[in-house]
Chains A and B, each alone.
Chain A
Amino acid sequence: MAALNEEQQMIKDQATAWVKAQAPVSKFRAMRDQEAPLGFFPDTWTAMTELGWSGLVIPEAYGGAGLGYQTLGLVLEQLGRNLVASPLFASSVVGAAALMTWGSDAQKQSVLPSIANGSRWVVLALDEGPRFNPTSITTRLEKSEQGWVLSGHKTFVMEGMAAHDLLVAAEVVQPGLEPELCLVLVDADIAGLSRVPMKTMDARGYANISFDQVLVESDAILDIQGSLQTVTDIAAATIASEMLGTAAAAFDMTLDYLKTRKQFGQVIGGFQALGHRAASLYSEMELTRSCVEAALVALDQSSENSSELVALSKTKVSEFLHEMSGQLIQIHGGIGMTDDFDAGFYLKRARVLESAYGNAAYHRDRYASILGF
């Protein structure tokens, strides 16, 4: 853990204590078993907003705490440890970041305070197929006689069923002009918009969303200067914190099992094959943590090499979580295969997070390109 200031240490301690006491994995299990319609429990979210997390990175002028991504990462890591389901990442991190980055004063003024107090969920609708591909958008925004019209199809929108509003990535198509990327702020209940829940293995609330000639006011358009990268970088770097937490909890469960499970008359952690596996997993986790923290600090400082570090962070954490969640099952043996035990939740969640905002292969390729080969 990087050296923290007093405020960061306090937030970290608070998050650690709250997650432990108020959001054990059994709470996620109950949510999964009850098939909670939103993909999270509203009371969990209320408690989180009371702790101030829904406005953590939103500027004070818009009702938030104005803190940085490194601080946010401390909270996300703890949430990741116990698989806490909430709209924090989709709305208070990604949705808020998009508005903070590209929103006009009026757009910020009208939306950010309600994201900060947790009453309104505003999420990014970006992907259009099974893989992350933010430069190839076919959803179109066109001028018609009635005004701007939005048409297209979005897939796997996080908290897409719960969301009050969507920030839809679309190409503005105007006669005589080059098509240009933009975001459109759309009320999720507007005419012409339809949502279908996607039942995923991590039991969260994803939606596929269609836009059929949806009418949009011109003040709902955000000019993103041609690229979504600023916000997709923030998304990748922050979700990496959650992933680190998920992986760290999987490691701790595994280490605990290595110290307690006995076979051949001794604890299995004393067998070199398993002890060495634990040693390399731990070493890999230490390396991964350094990358995750460095990327968040780079975002906070707007460093020149922040994209390079974000690509590094998301690759490393995806690789580590992949391996760790697999070893969690393998080392637990048969018990790891049972639904009664939590290991399966970690494995399922791991694969979902790995592919979010670009998997390891995506960011590895990007890293090479950034380094000029």
Chain B
Amino acid sequence: MSEQVRDLESFRAEVASWLQDNFPKTLKGQGIAPFGGVEGEVEIDPDAALWRDRLASRGWGTPTWPSEIGGGGLSHVEAKVLSEEMHRVGAINPIPLLAGMGVTMVGPTILEYGTEDQKRRHIPGICSGKIRWCLGYSEPNAGSDLASLATKAEDNGDFWLINGQKVWTSGADISQWCGALVRTDPSAKKRDGISFLMLKMDQPGVETRPIKLIAGASPFCETFFNDARAEKGDLLGALNDGWSVGKRLLQHERASQTGARPTSNKVGLTLQDLAKQYVGEDEEGKLLDSDLRTRIASHLMHTKAHGLTVARIAAEAKGNPEVSAAASILKNSATRVSQERAELALEAMGHQGIGWEGDGFTEDEIEHVRGWLSGKAISIYGGSFEIQNNIIAKNILGLPEMTQKG
């Protein structure tokens, strides 16, 4: 046994014994519900708070981040062992969820572009799971054409003064901090006059209004800035270089969205078993609707191909999942997997798949419908399906910037 393998095995034993002592058994297999759910709509359960704090005390909510500022200081392989051991005992890491956009996007970007002072002030809060971050990117007139954003920040000597409006700000109403793209030089070309600012959400100049979406919930807000303030030291990256910082953050976002997740949170039946339940099967066990059977088979093959590709790209990067242009391929492919699955499940369920609420439908059925609806956002957020194709065409294939003619 090599030294590395031996070290890894002793690390595994250490993790297992720590989990034995520290993971509250009441949370076993409970998923995210005790932590307030996806949108933080419920009060956090006391055991869940305890688990969050114990995990954070080791830095294991953000295992590969530097330990001096709240991370776990682990290597990628050690982090994998940690996650395997947690999975084994039915524990989840709630910190990426509790930190909003902090763990997946803002944090990695601060680690890359931030000053030592910024890292010291912002990273520990993210690692603790107590400071939630939102992102101020899109505006009513700047969606896919993000560089058209108009929210402006003026240097007032002692602070930045911010005015404008953002939209589709996920979790803005429950976040403590926001990373926002703002215009700091209105006279420069679109992309050259943008900066990345970090500001507090709890202040008089910031107002949030939740937007009710087609699935019924309100995960996004409109966010208004009226003379809102940001500290001078909270400009991330160089002045007017916000476009590169913001683009890099989006690469981290795409990398976090390359795994195909079910649009419904309930893990359970496979799609083929769900279909059998509602459609029925013949004596050989074949789904009675042969057309649906073919399409489910195609879908499952695409799902498998996606998984194999994620693994292949990771193997080629030698186990170091660096964000790359391939993330655009995987994001679009993951989108297709999730949305297709939701559509097929709904189709299989027939009239039981049109429920909105009430006793006529099971909880799972309603969950499928809501998940199918909210899943329509996957091909829009994080750079739409079409924007990803622009990126693939330009950055991987070397084609010119896209125009519409022809």
Question: A278 touching B406 by the CB < 8 A rule?
Answer: no
Residues of chain A within 8 A (CB-CB) of B42 are: none
Question: A271 touching B405 by the CB < 8 A rule?
Answer: yes
Can you list, as one digit per residue, whether each of B303-344 has a CB less than 8 Å from chain A (1) or not (0)?
A: 011101101100110100000001001001100000000000
Question: B276 touching A272 by the CB < 8 A rule?
Answer: no
Question: A283 touching B329 by the CB < 8 A rule?
Answer: yes
Min CB–CB distance A2 → chain B (angstroms): 6
* SS of A interface (majority): helix
B239 within 8 A of A: no
Partner of B293, one of A3, A283, A373: A373
Min CB–CB distance B19 → chain A (angstroms): 31
Question: A271 touching B403 by the CB < 8 A rule?
Answer: yes
A11 within 8 A of B: no
Question: B305 touching A316 by the CB < 8 A rule?
Answer: yes
A241 within 8 A of B: no
Question: B298 touching A364 by the CB < 8 A rule?
Answer: yes
Partner of A270, one of B272, B308, B401: B401
Residues of chain A within 8 A (CB-CB) of B309 are: 286-287, 289-290
Residues of chain B within 8 A (CB-CB) of A367 are: 297, 300-301
B285 within 8 A of A: yes
Bound complex: CA A264 to CA B403 (Å): 12
Can you list, as one digit per residue, whether each of A272-291 has a CB less than 8 Å from chain B (1) or not (0)?
A: 11111011101100111111
> Among residues 128 to 153 in chain B, which have CB atoms less than 8 Å away from a CB atom of chain A?
none
B162 within 8 A of A: no
Bound complex: CA A266 to CA B405 (Å): 10
Surface stretch bound by A, among B24-32, B112-120, B256-264, B387-395: B387-395
Partner of A3, one of B285, B316, B386: B316
Knowing A267-B400, A280-B389, A364-B294, say if A273 contacts B302 (CB, 8 Å). Answer: no
Bound complex: CA A361 to CA B301 (Å): 12
Question: B406 touching A268 by the CB < 8 A rule?
Answer: yes
Bound complex: CA A289 to CA B273 (Å): 29
Can you list, as one digit per residue, whether each of A193-216 has a CB less than 8 Å from chain B (1) or not (0)?
A: 000000000000000000000000
Question: B272 touching A373 by the CB < 8 A rule?
Answer: yes
Question: A373 touching B276 by the CB < 8 A rule?
Answer: yes
A371 within 8 A of B: yes
Partner of B402, one of A275, A289, A361: A275
Bound complex: CA A37 to CA B398 (Å): 43
B48 within 8 A of A: no
Residues of chain A within 8 A (CB-CB) of B1 are: none
Give the residue name and chain of the A residue nearest to B400 (CB): A270
Bound complex: CA A315 to CA B298 (Å): 9
Knowing A259-B398, A272-B402, A372-B285, say if A364 contacts B301 (CB, 8 Å). Answer: yes
Knowing A271-B405, A275-B389, A276-B386, say if A1 contacts B316 (CB, 8 Å). Answer: yes
B296 within 8 A of A: yes
Can you list, as one digit per residue, whether each of B255-295 has a CB less than 8 Å from chain A (1) or not (0)?
A: 00000000000000000110110000100011100000110
Question: B308 touching A290 by the CB < 8 A rule?
Answer: yes
Question: B305 touching A259 by the CB < 8 A rule?
Answer: no
Knowing A364-B297, A364-B298, say if A278 contacts B399 (CB, 8 Å). Answer: yes
Question: A368 touching B400 by the CB < 8 A rule?
Answer: no
Question: B390 touching A283 by the CB < 8 A rule?
Answer: no
Min CB–CB distance A330 → chain B (angstroms): 13
Given contacts A290-B305, A291-B304, 14 further A-B contacts (CB under 8 A): A3-B315, A264-B406, A266-B400, A270-B401, A270-B402, A271-B404, A272-B406, A279-B389, A280-B389, A282-B329, A282-B392, A368-B296, A372-B272, A372-B285
Identify 9 residue pairs between A and B in the complex whose beta-carbon atoms are under 8 Å apart, listed by A's number: A2-B312, A271-B406, A276-B402, A287-B308, A287-B333, A290-B312, A368-B296, A368-B297, A372-B285
Question: Which 6 pairs, one residue from A and one from B, show the smallest C-beta to C-beta distance?
Answer: A271-B406, A275-B393, A270-B400, A290-B308, A279-B392, A373-B272
